[in-house]
Amino acid sequence: MNNINVAPDLVPELLITDIETSLDFWCDLCGYSIRYERREEGFAYIKSGSSHVMLEQKGLSRNWTTEKMDHPYGRGVNFQIMVNSIDLIIQRLRQNGWPLFMDPEEKWYRRGDGEVGVLQFLVQDPDGYLLRFSEHLGERKR
């Protein structure tokens, strides 16, 4: 079977305000590429490595919402996105004047009898979804 057509078991679909603005952010600044799209419906399926996300513009198609959408969207959740390096993403964001929600930090998290390390930062997309880009630093014993 050809894995190019297989999606991960979990792909978040984010309701957004404007497809063009979101694609500029996700693709141009964060390094995603469009896997497929239906621009007339304000929809795009994007990916970067094994990270997949669907973007859907409010009001152009059927939107599955349980309550009224107020900005910023996604309150209470952050999406951890593992990348090989956070440097290029941060560089693009800063060159374009995009504010970081949290500056880069090295953080070691307890896991079992050891720790796993990441270099991470947080940024909000144009609709306020909180993205935590993380670069794996390795593991160590406690």
**pLDDT bracket for residue 1 (50, 70, 90):** very low
pLDDT tens sequence across 94-112: 999 999 999 999 999 999 9
Instruction: Please state, in angstroms and rounded to a whole number, the distance separating the CA atoms of residues 7 and 3.
Output: 8
- pTM greater than the 0.75 cutoff: yes
In terms of residue numbers, what domain contains 21? Answer: 3-61+76-141
In a domain, 67, yes or no: no
Cβ distance 46 to 26 under 8 Å? yes
**pLDDT bracket for residue 82 (50, 70, 90):** very high
In a domain, 41, yes or no: yes
In a domain, 32, yes or no: yes
In a domain, 134, yes or no: yes
CATH classification at residue 51: 3.10.180.10
In a domain, 84, yes or no: yes
Please, which residues have CB within 8 angstroms of residue 81's CB and are 6 or more apart in sequence? 48, 51, 131, 132, 133, 134
